[in-house]
Structure 1
C-alpha cells in the first residue's frame, strides 16, 4: 500500500489512527500494540498476501534466535552466526540467485534455467533490521522480550517498506513507555504537517521529473544518440527525482509515525548540500550508512589496521552497499564509484591536514575557505550525478553512453528538450536544495525525529520555522490538497524496489 494513494490517506491511515487511540484512551496499551501489528501486516499484505507467510516466518525465526543468543551459553556465537547466515541466505535467494545464475550461464556458456523469482517487498529492510536485533542481542543491548513488541518493531508500517532501518533500543522504549490516554493533538499537527510536505515533494516534484529522466535513459537503452545537453538534463532530472522521491518518503514516514507519538530516526539530511562524499554519506540514507559502518566496515577492521587497510575496507563496504541496492552490474559500478570517491576523499583529507594552516582567521583566508567550500560542493554534486547515471541505467552500456555524452564525446546535436524550458527548472531545483531548509529544519523547534540535533541543521541560507498557527495551517493544507488532487496515477517510491 502506497503512502501516496487515496486508500491509504483516506481509509487506512485514519482507521488505524482512530483504532490505536481508542485502545490508548481506554488504557489498553498492549491491545493498541497488537492492533498496530495486525494493521501493519494488512498494510504489507495489501500488495501480495502470499508474502505475509515469508515475513511472518522471518519474524518468528529471528525472535526465537534472539532468545537463544541472549541465554548464557557457550553456543551464543554459534547461534548468532547461524541467525545472521539464515537472514543473508533468505536475502540471497530472493534477491541475488537470478543474478548469479544469469552470470554463471554467460561465463560458463551453460543453459541453466531458473523460474522467475519475484522480489518480496521490503525484504532488504526487514532483513537488515532483524540482523541488527541479533547482533544487539549478542552484545546484551536488548532487554525487551515480548513477542508482540518485537513484531511491532519489525512491522511498524511507517518504516516497514523503505526504512529507516531502526534499532531495537530506539523503538521499543517508545512503544512501551506509559502514554497519556488523551489524544496528543500537538503530535497529530506536527505529523500531518511533515506528511503533507513530504507528499507534496513526491507528487508535485519527483513524479513530474520522472518523464524527463525516463526519456533520456530510454533513448540510451535503445542505442539512440544523445546530445550533451540532453544527457545532462536526463542525469540531473533523475538526480533531483531521486532526491525528492526519497526525501518525500522519509518525511512522510516520520510524519505518519509522529501522528502515533513515535519518533523515527533521521534518514535524510539535505545530502546535496554536502561538501564532500564523506559528508554526503552522513546525510544520504543515514540509517543504511550507520548499518554499513557498524555491521560491515567496523567488523572488517575499520581504521584499526592502518591507512591502507582502512581504504580497502571503505571500498569493500561501498561495493557491498551497491549490491544491497540491487542485483545488477550497474549497482556494482555505482558502489565501486562511491568506494573510489571515498578513497580519494580520505586521501585528500590526509594530504591537506599536513599543510600549514597559518593565517586561518584572516579575512583573506576566510574568502579562500568559502571559495574552496563552494568548489568542493560543485565537485561533489558532479561526482554524485555521474554515479546516479549507473544507479538508474538498465545496463552498463547505456550508462556509459550517457556519461560519454555528458562529457561531450558525442557528435549528436539534436535535442529532446528545449534549453529555454528545462534550464530554468534545473536552476530552481539547485536553488531549492542548496539554499532552502529541509523539513527537519523547518520543524526543528519540535524535535521532529528521534535523533534530531539542531546543530546538525545549520546549513541553509534561508530559514523558516513551523509553528502550530493559523498561518502555517494555510501553508500546509494547500500543499496537502494540491498533492492529493494530483494523485491521478499511482507512482511507487523508487526505494520500494530495494
Structure 2
C-alpha cells in the first residue's frame, strides 16, 4: 500500500487512528497490539507472500536478543549468540536480495540459466534495524522489552517500507508511554500539515518532473542538453520523492503522538560530501558509521586504513541500495569522494576568512556536480547505459536545444530554486525530534491561520495529484 493512494488516506489511516485511540482509553497494551497488527496488514496488502518471512525474522531476532539480554551466558556463548543472530539476518538478506544478482552474474559468466526470485519490500530496513538491536543487546545497551513492543518497533508501518532505520532506544520507550495512547490535537494538526507537504512533494513535484528523466535514461543517444536535463531531472525527482516520503512518514507518526527521527535535511545545500551524508538518508549514514565503519576501525589506525574503511563502508552501502553493479559503482564513487574530502580537510584544516565564502560556494557547486554524476549510475539500467549518458554530458558539441529541451531546462531551473531557496519542512514547522517538539509558532497562534490555509491548499493539490500507481523510489531498496 502506498501513502500516496486514496485507500490509504481515506480508509486505512483513519481506521487505524480511530482504533488506536479508542483502545487507548481502555488499556495501555492493546493499542500496541492493534498498531502492530495494522502494520502487518499494511505490509500484507502489497506483499502478503512475505509476511511469514517478516514474522520469522521478528521471532528469530527477539529470541536471540532475549538470550543476550536475560540469559546469563558466558562471554564465548554471548559472542556465539550474536554471531548466530547477525549471520542469520545477513543470510536471509543475501538469499532474498542478492541471490538474483549472483545468479545473473553466474549466468553471464557460464551461460547458465539460474532463476532469480522476487525481492521482499522493506527487507533491508527491517534487517538493519534488528541487527542494530542485536549488537546493542550484546553490548549491554538494551533493556528487556515485551514482544508486542518489539514487534511494533520492527513493523511500525510509517517506516517499514522505506525507512527511516529506527533505533530501539528511541522508539520502544515511545510505544511504552501512556501519553501516546491519547489523541493530542496539536500533534495531530502538525502531523496532517507535514503529511500534506510530503504528499505535495511526491505527487506534484517528484511525479511532475519524472517524464523529463526519459530524456537521458531512455534515449539511445541523448544530446548534451538532453543528457544534462535528464540527469538533473532525476536528481530533483529523487530529492522530492525521498523528501516527500520522509515528511509523510513523520506526519503519519505524529498523528499517533510518536516522533520519528529526521532522515532528510536539505542535502543539496551541503558544501561537502561529508556534509551531504550528514543530511541525506541520515539514519542509514548513522547505521553505517556506528555498526560498520567504527567496528572496522574508523579513523583510529591511521589515514590509509581510514580511507580503506570508508571505501568498504560505502561499497557495502551502495550494494545495500540494490543488487546491481551500478549501485556498487555509485557506492565506490561516494567512497572516493569522501576520501578526497577528508584528504583535503587534512591538507587545509582552515581556510583564510577572505576566501571562506567563495570556498563554501565552490564546495557546494562541486559537491552537487559530484552527486549528479553518481546519480547517473544510481538510475541507469546498466553500467554501459550510465557511461553513455555521462559521455553525452561531457560532449558539448552535440547540442539539440529544441523547444522541448528549453521547456525542460526552465522546469529544472524552477526545481533548483525550490531546492536551494525554499525552507525545508523542519524549518517551516520547527520539528525537533530530540526534544519532542513541533509547531511551537502554530501552538502560540501567531501563524495558525496562514498554516491552516496553506496546508489545506497543499493537501488539496497533493490529493488531486495522486496517480493510479506511483511508488516511492526507495521502495525498491
Quickly say closer, same or farther: Cα 1:181–1:47, change in 2 above 3 A.
closer
Q: CA deviation at 1:81?
A: 0.7
Quickly say closer, same or farther: Cα 1:408–1:76, change in 2 above 3 A.
same
The whole-number CA distance in structure 1 between the counterparts of 2:390 and 2:403 is 18
Alignment gaps of 5+ in structure 1: 455-463
TM-score, normalization by structure 2: 0.95
The more displaced of 91-100 and 240-249 is 91-100
Q: CA deviation at 1:72?
A: 2.3
The answer as to whether partners of 1:265 and 1:451 remain within 8 angstroms in 2 is: no
Counterpart check, 1:259 vs 2:255: yes
Counterpart check, 1:97 vs 2:99: yes
User: 1:441 aligns to what?
Assistant: 427
User: 1:42 aligns to what?
Assistant: 41
Q: CA deviation at 1:288?
A: 0.3
The whole-number CA distance in structure 2 between the counterparts of 1:452 and 1:317 is 31
Quickly say closer, same or farther: Cα 1:103–1:416, change in 2 above 3 A.
farther
Quickly say closer, same or farther: Cα 1:333–1:181, change in 2 above 3 A.
closer
**Alignment coverage as a number of residue pairs:** 470
Q: How does 1:55-454 map to 2 (within 5 A)?
A: 55-70=54-69, 71-74=71-74, 75-107=77-109, 109-111=110-112, 113-179=113-179, 182-219=182-219, 224-353=220-349, 360=353, 365=354, 368-408=355-395, 412-415=398-401, 418-444=404-430, 447=432, 449-450=433-434
Quickly say closer, same or farther: Cα 1:408–1:11, change in 2 above 3 A.
same
The whole-number CA distance in structure 2 between the counterparts of 1:248 and 1:400 is 29
User: 1:7 aligns to what?
Assistant: 7
Quickly say closer, same or farther: Cα 1:373–1:170, change in 2 above 3 A.
same
The whole-number CA distance in structure 2 between the counterparts of 1:477 and 1:255 is 15
Counterpart check, 1:485 vs 2:464: yes
Quickly say closer, same or farther: Cα 1:451–1:341, change in 2 above 3 A.
farther
Q: CA deviation at 1:45?
A: 0.1
The answer as to whether partners of 1:226 and 1:414 remain within 8 angstroms in 2 is: no
Q: CA deviation at 1:416?
A: 6.9
The whole-number CA distance in structure 1 between the counterparts of 2:158 and 2:434 is 14
Quickly say closer, same or farther: Cα 1:321–1:452, change in 2 above 3 A.
farther
Write out per-residue CA displacement over residues 213-269 of structure 1, whole angstroms, 9 at most, x where no aligned residue: 0342011xxxx2211100000000000000000000000000000000000011000
The whole-number CA distance in structure 1 between the counterparts of 2:180 and 2:42 is 26
TM-score, normalization by structure 1: 0.91
The answer as to whether partners of 1:266 and 1:450 remain within 8 angstroms in 2 is: no
The whole-number CA distance in structure 2 between the counterparts of 1:58 and 1:182 is 31
User: 1:457 aligns to what?
Assistant: none
The whole-number CA distance in structure 1 between the counterparts of 2:434 and 2:259 is 5
More helix by share: 2
Quickly say closer, same or farther: Cα 1:314–1:196, change in 2 above 3 A.
same
The answer as to whether partners of 1:266 and 1:451 remain within 8 angstroms in 2 is: no
Q: CA deviation at 1:79?
A: 0.5
Write out per-residue CA displacement over residues 52-107 of structure 1, whole angstroms, 9 at most, x where no aligned residue: 11101110111001011222212011100110000001000011111112212323
The whole-number CA distance in structure 1 between the counterparts of 2:366 and 2:205 is 25
User: 1:495 aligns to what?
Assistant: 474
